[in-house]
Structure formats: structure tokens, C-alpha cells
């Protein structure tokens, strides 16, 4: 049997790089693609020596050419944190619209199965809790998250259209908050923000009163869900995330305890359109993929903290502060 070949877009990012590792482990030939706007080659440099790994420095919003056959495509290119998409809203819109169109066109000519990375952001600030795949969402198209949320909603729509019209084998994952090693310390998201602050001896910046909730999934669990969905025959969206829900205040307290820091939580204004609660209903993933998360928050946070602790002082001090809309 010939070796399977997979293209991974956004391969130098947090999730993309973990996917490269996983598919190399599965014995596939991995073609990694990234324009390095938010990705970092450090995340995949350990793979460059491998015979079955290649890297293309390319922006998928432009025509994509990959020589040879492809069995699978994973479309994970996109800025994915509020700090990034506030800074580069047009690239954010383009990568999930034009970029997805290019990826689907490539999948069509290569007869490859394609999985696109959608997000819990398609639910916006949800009126249904926990969120099931049937919920249509509550998104503000002209708010600060609009460029990300609407682009991802378009991504889902065009993916369905390619499935219906061109019979491309498509898979759609809706990813909830995920964390783990290789997250960017300065991407503005709550976990790297809190751990970075704890390590620098600063107070932890809690937005609002911290009563908003999130549900955090460890990256290895997410990658396993992605693998199972790709190998399944299910083409409608599937939520993958950890249903263990926590308020941001409790989360900050957990980080302070874990790091042994003796700083405190301070309250800053809540950014506009910040979802008040978020927890995936994962019944579908359980039923269709036999998937559920295995790594507890305590275990996952410990591994992630050890990773951030191992970074250099320079990396630790590269901080960007979030703008308040």
C-alpha cells in the first residue's frame, strides 16, 4: 500500500504543529504549509530532518499548488486569538474565505478528503447552553470578533456546498478553547496571559468580574478527536472540546495555585462581545467517533506550565496587551 500524503495548512501554528507530529506518527507523508504571519517555525523545526516531511512557505489565500497526489487535507490556517484578529482582520477574513475556497478546489482536483477547522465562535455569545451542533448561534457580524466568526461561518457554508455540488469528502470540526505546549505566550488568550503573568510576577488580568465561563480542552485530546473525525464518514459539523466548565475567576485562582505565585487577580474592563458562557455538548462526538477527552485540567495545566517555564526570559517578556473595543 502506498504511503498516504496529507497537506496541513497553518502547520507552524499551535494546533497545526501538533497535527504534523500526529500524522508523522501515523506513518503519513506530511506536507506542511504556513505563511508564518502568526505561526512559528520553531514549532515544527524538529520535523525538518525527516524524509517524510516537507514545508511550503505559502499563503493559502492565494492559489495553492502541491505536486503529486494527496489523500487528505487539514485546513488549520487562521489567526485564532482576539489579539491577532483585531490586528489583522482582513487576512483573518481572507484565509477562511478565499483560503477555504482554494483548499476545497485543491481537494476536488486531488480527490482528497478535507477537514476544515471551524470553531465554537460560530455560536457567538450563545443563547443555548451547552452548545449543540444544531444551535445556529448569536454572532455580531460588525463587532470585533465578526471578522473571525463570520469567516468561519462562511467556511462551513462553502464546505457544505463543495460536498453537495462537487461531492468532495468533507469534514467540519468545531473546536472549543484548547490549550497546551506551543501556544504563543503573547497571543492574548487567557491561559498564556495568566501563566505568563504568574511567571513574571505580575497580577493576573481578569476581564470583567470573571463570571464568564469557558471549557478548556488539552491539545492531545483535541488532536485525537480530529484524527477520528477525519477517518469517519460523517460530513456534518462535530463539536470537539472538553465539557468541564469553569469561570475565568476560578481559572485564575487555579493558575495562581499551580504556579505558587502570590500575586492577585485584578479586574479590567470586559472586551466587547466577549461570550458569557461556553461549553460544548459532545454527545455527537461520543456517539459517532467514540471520542471524549481523557486529560484532566490538572494534568494538562501542569504539562503546559512546565512548557512555559522552560521558555527563555526574552520569550517570557514579549508581551502584547489586548486593546479594549
Q: Which residue, 237 or 271, has its beta carbon nearer to ligand UDP?
A: 271
Q: Which residue, 207 or 307, has its beta carbon nearer to ligand UDP?
A: 207
Question: Minimal distance in Å, beta carbon 192 to ligand UDP?
Answer: 8
Cα–Cα distance, 84 to 196 (Å, whole number): 18
C-beta separation of 91 from 61 below 8 A:
yes
Residue of 94, 214, 279, 297 that binds ligand UDP (CB under 6 A): 214
Q: Which residue, 53 or 179, has its beta carbon nearer to ligand UDP?
A: 179
Q: Which residue, 17 or 177, has its beta carbon nearer to ligand UDP?
A: 177
| Subset of residues 145 to 184 that bind ligand UDP, contact rule: CB under 6 A | 177
Say which residues have a Cβ less than 8 Å from residue 42's Cβ, sequence separation at least 6: none
Question: Minimal distance in Å, beta carbon 62 to ligand UDP?
Answer: 27
Question: Minimal distance in Å, beta carbon 198 to ligand UDP?
Answer: 12
Cα–Cα distance, 113 to 139 (Å, whole number): 29
Question: Minimal distance in Å, beta carbon 93 to ligand UDP?
Answer: 17
Question: Minimal distance in Å, beta carbon 243 to ligand UDP?
Answer: 15
C-beta separation of 62 from 102 below 8 A:
yes
CB atoms within 10 A of CB 144: 19
The contact pattern for ligand UDP, residues 36-75, with x = CB under 6 A and - = no contact, is ----------------------------------------
**From 72, 123, 148, 162, the catalytic residue:** 148
3-state secondary structure 119-186: EHHHHECCCCCCECCCCCCECCCCCCCHHHHHHHHHHHHHHHHHHHHHCCCEEEEEECCEECCCCCCC
End-to-end CA distance of the chain: 54
**Residue 96: Cβ-neighbour burial (10 angstroms; 0-12, 13-18, 19+):** buried
Question: Minimal distance in Å, beta carbon 175 to ligand UDP?
Answer: 11
Please state the separation of Cα 266 from the chain's center in Å.
27
| Subset of residues 240 to 259 that bind ligand UDP, contact rule: CB under 6 A | 248
**Residue 105: Cβ-neighbour burial (10 angstroms; 0-12, 13-18, 19+):** middle
Show the cell assigned to 74: 487539514
Size of the residue set binding ligand UDP (CB under 6 A): 15
| Subset of residues 181 to 210 that bind ligand UDP, contact rule: CB under 6 A | 188-190, 193, 205-207
Q: Does the annotation count 307 as an active-site position?
A: no
| Subset of residues 260 to 279 that bind ligand UDP, contact rule: CB under 6 A | 271, 274
In degrees, rounded to 5, the angle at the alpha carbon of residue 218 between the alpha carbons of residues 85 and 133 is 70
Position 122 contacts ligand UDP (CB under 6 A): no
Q: Give the active site residues.
A: 148
Binding region for ligand UDP (CB under 6 A)? 81-82, 177, 188-190, 193, 205-207, 212, 214, 248, 271, 274
Amino acid at each position: 500500500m502506498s504511503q498516504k500524503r496529507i497537506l496541513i495548512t497553518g502547520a507552524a501554528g499551535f494546533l497545526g504543529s501538533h497535527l504534523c507530529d500526529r500524522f508523522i506518527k501515523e506513518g503519513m507523508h506530511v506536507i506542511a504549509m504556513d505563511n508564518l504571519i502568526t505561526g512559528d517555525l520553531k514549532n515544527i523545526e524538529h520535523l525538518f530532518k525527516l524524509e517524510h516531511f516537507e514545508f511550503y512557505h505559502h499563503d493559502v489565500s492565494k492559489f495553492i499548488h502541491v505536486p503529486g497526489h494527496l489523500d487528505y487535507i487539514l485546513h488549520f490556517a487562521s489567526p485564532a486569538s482576539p489579539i491577532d484578529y483585531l490586528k489583522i482582520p482582513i487576512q483573518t477574513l481572507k484565509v477562511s474565505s478565499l483560503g477555504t475556497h482554494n483548499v476545497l478546489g485543491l481537494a476536488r482536483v486531488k480527490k482528497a478528503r478535507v477537514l476544515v477547522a471551524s470553531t465554537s465562535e460560530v455560536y457567538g455569545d450563545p443563547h443555548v447552553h451547552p452548545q449543540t451542533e444544531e444551535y445556529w448561534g448569536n454572532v455580531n457580524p460588525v463587532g470585533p470578533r465578526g471578522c473571525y466568526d463570520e469567516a468561519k461561518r462562511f467556511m462551513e457554508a462553502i464546505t457544505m456546498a463543495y460536498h453537495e455540488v462537487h461531492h468532495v469528502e468533507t469534514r467540519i470540526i468545531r473546536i472549543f478553547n484548547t490549550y497546551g505546549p506551543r501556544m504563543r505566550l503573547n497571543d492574548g488568550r487567557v491561559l498564556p496571559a495568566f501563566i505568563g503573568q504568574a511567571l513574571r510576577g505580575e497580577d493576573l488580568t481578569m476581564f470583567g468580574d470573571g463570571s464568564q465561563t469557558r471549557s478548556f480542552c488539552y491539545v492531545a485530546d483535541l488532536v485525537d478527536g480530529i484524527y477520528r473525525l477525519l477517518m469517519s464518514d460523517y460530513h456534518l459539523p462535530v463539536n470537539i472540546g472538553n465539557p468541564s466548565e469553569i469561570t475565568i475567576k476560578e481559572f485564575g485562582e487555579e493558575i495562581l495555585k499551580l504556579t505558587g505565585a502570590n500575586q492577585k487577580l485584578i479586574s479590567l474592563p470586559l472586551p466587547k462581545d466577549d461570550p458569557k458562557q461556553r461549553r460544548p455538548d459532545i454527545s455527537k462526538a461520543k456517539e459517532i467517533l467514540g471520542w471524549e477527552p481523557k486529560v484532566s485540567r490538572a494534568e494538562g495545566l501542569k504539562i503546559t506550565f512546565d512548557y512555559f517555564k522552560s521558555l527563555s526570559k526574552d520569550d517570557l517578556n514579549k508581551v502584547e496587551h489586548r486593546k479594549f473595543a
